[in-house]
Amino acid sequence: MPNPTPNMTTFAELNLHPNLVAALPNDCQLPTAIQAQALPSIIDGQDVLALAPTGSGKTLAFGLGLLQQLSVQLAMSKVAAAQQVREFERFSNSNFSNNLDLAKDSFDDAVAPPSFSRAYMQAVIIVPTRELAAQISTVLTPLAASMQLNVGTLCGGVDLEQQVADFNQLTPQLVVATPGRLLDLLKQKLISLKGVQHLVLDEADRLLEMGFWPDVQKLMSAMPALQQQLLFSATLPNELAEQLQQLSPNAHRFAVGHQNSVVAGVAQTCYLVNKGSKAQALIALLKEQLSGLQVLVFINARDSADSLSKRLNKAGIVALALHGEKDQTERDQALLAFKQGDINVLVATDLLARGIDVTALPVVVNLDLPESAPVYVHRVGRTARAGLTGMAISLVSHGEAKSLAAIRELTGEALPLQPLAGFAVTDKPSNEQHSKRPPRDKKANRRNMTKRTK
């Protein structure tokens, strides 16, 4: 389970509802540090900015807090509805039975969830990927059921009409969504966000990046003046810190561990190899050092993920590729096969770098270093989750020197380059002197050419 807070605080001591405590998984009986710190403020309805390493229990931190508040609000609405019935009864006239029927109808309308189009959703969790949305929904759904609440998911890759029909039937109080699908439904007037009182931005730094931020802004403008904003992330680059502060200036800030750090249980190794030898080096590692282990391999390009997967299978290593260009069914099947242990190797782009939890995953391999240093933290955070240990192996070429330097600076890790047995490095370090000839050499070449043509 995730490392509990040092003073061994219990969920009951955090005033969490007994139903929620009873519904917690067996391996989550004590709150983690971020849960112990942030839950009281979340339950109290305050804005929160929480920074904690991957695998530290952030989903339950905001999820339990939201469900507790929603259950209180639901109970209050029932009390208000009951009070309305009593008022009808008190002022009933001689036609008592008709008025009582009317009162009961009013009570039923007040207590029963209204239709999807009437914006019953009261809390929205926005995440950057479909896989993360599905994972959060899976974690929170049984907890919500213990409080007679419903959780819905809105993300792309699913038939829109069927999704709306399912939502009309479910009428969820809590919605987990990706920005694009949520905005699409809003534009088509298939949903309303006017009832939203709580907003969570999970992987907040990613949602602040230009690809997502315009959509998030449009969604927030369609919500009422929010009573609560919760911002959660494992990393927060300095260039985004001010933007996040402006977004929620009164947020109570909680941080566990060193900001942008890799969780302590990850053993990190960097091998220096030729750029053209990376695939063969990976095959050697998988057959020798990592034989029989589950390995998540990160690669930067989608087409490279497919070609590497084919090469691994040709070498006798059963592998699947997962990236954004695959349809949702393929994505779901590949991730499920990996989680269930049907395959040992999954080659993925950064689709899986954010928030995805694969139980007891022992190894992460970076075939390419990511161009963004915070992505490295998220990638290697897929292992050593929930207090366990794991390995993160990076195959680094000379051409990735700048990326490695940025990762070292962000994480504060030394990350020394080591040789990999059987893979001598013949590539030369890339620098301006090697990549560009001095002008005098060019002149000398032109003189030689002139002499040869005379």
Residue 95 belongs to some domain of the structure:
yes
Q: Which of 220, 255, 290 is the last residue of a domain?
A: 255
Q: What per-residue confidence (pLDDT) applies to 61?
A: 96
Q: How far apart are CA 450 and CA 442, in angstroms?
A: 12
Tally of domains within the chain: 2
- 96-131 confidence digits (pLDDT tens): 445 555 444 544 444 444 333 334 799 999 999 999
Same domain flag for 270 and 419: yes
Report the CATH number that the domain containing residue 414 is assigned in CATH: 3.40.50.300
Residue 114 belongs to some domain of the structure:
yes
- Is there a contact between 373 and 256 (Cβ–Cβ < 8 Å)? no
Residue 98 to residues 88, 91, 93, 112, Cα–Cα distance (Å)? 11, 12, 9, 21
**Mean pLDDT for the chain?**
85
Residue 427 Rama label (left phi>0; alpha psi -120 to 50; beta): beta
- 312-357 confidence digits (pLDDT tens): 999 999 999 999 889 989 999 999 999 999 999 999 999 888 867 8
Q: What per-residue confidence (pLDDT) applies to 80?
A: 61
Q: What per-residue confidence (pLDDT) applies to 78?
A: 67
Residue 451 belongs to some domain of the structure:
no
Same domain flag for 384 and 301: yes
Q: How far apart are CA 358 and CA 338, in angstroms?
A: 8
Using the predicted structure, report yes or no on whether residue 253 has a pLDDT greater than 80. yes
Same domain flag for 271 and 229: no
Same domain flag for 329 and 378: yes
pTM for the structure as a whole: 0.80
Using the predicted structure, report yes or no on whether residue 450 has a pLDDT greater than 70. no
Same domain flag for 56 and 142: yes
Average pLDDT of span 140-150 = 97
Average pLDDT of span 184-209 = 93
- Is there a contact between 106 and 85 (Cβ–Cβ < 8 Å)? yes
- 263-321 confidence digits (pLDDT tens): 889 999 999 999 999 999 999 999 999 999 999 999 999 999 999 999 999 999 999 99
Same domain flag for 196 and 296: no
- 198-223 confidence digits (pLDDT tens): 999 999 988 988 689 999 999 999 99
Same domain flag for 214 and 283: no
Residue 379 Rama label (left phi>0; alpha psi -120 to 50; beta): alpha
Buried b (16+ CB within 10 A) or exposed e, 17-37: beebbebbeeebebbbbbbbb
- Is there a contact between 377 and 409 (Cβ–Cβ < 8 Å)? no
Q: What per-residue confidence (pLDDT) applies to 260?
A: 82
Q: Which of 234, 255, 276 is the last residue of a domain?
A: 255
Q: Exposed, middle or buried, 257 (CB in 10 Å: 0-12/13-18/19+)?
A: middle
Q: Which of 232, 255, 278 is the last residue of a domain?
A: 255
Q: What is the share, in percent, of the chain residues with pLDDT greater than 70? A: 83
Same domain flag for 151 and 242: yes
Of 161 and 258, more confident: 161
Residue 449 belongs to some domain of the structure:
no
Same domain flag for 361 and 395: yes
Enclosing domain of residue 116: 12-255
Gyration radius (Cα) of the chain, Å: 27
Residue 216 belongs to some domain of the structure:
yes
Name 319's bridge partners.
Answer: 345
Same domain flag for 36 and 169: yes
Band (pLDDT 50/70/90 cuts) for residue 90 is low
- Please give the full DSSP string across 245-293, using - where no structure is assigned: HHHSTTPEEEE-SSTTPPPTTEEEEEEE--GGGHHHHHHHHHHTTTTTS
Residue 145 belongs to some domain of the structure:
yes
Q: Which residues contact 80 (CB under 8 A, 6 or more apart)?
A: 110
Strand order in the sheet with 198-202: 151-154, 174-177, 123-126, 198-202, 228-233, 48-51, 252-255
The tokens for 146 are 């213990």
Place of tokens 């890790």: 413
Same domain flag for 38 and 168: yes
Using the predicted structure, report yes or no on whether residue 93 has a pLDDT greater than 80. no
Residue 226 belongs to some domain of the structure:
yes
Same domain flag for 250 and 272: no
Name 125's bridge partners.
Answer: 176, 200
Residue 1 belongs to some domain of the structure:
no
- Around 300, how many Cα atoms within 13 Å sit in the side-chain half-sphere? 12
What torsion, rounded to 10 degrees, do the Cα atoms 372, 378, 383, 389 define? 90
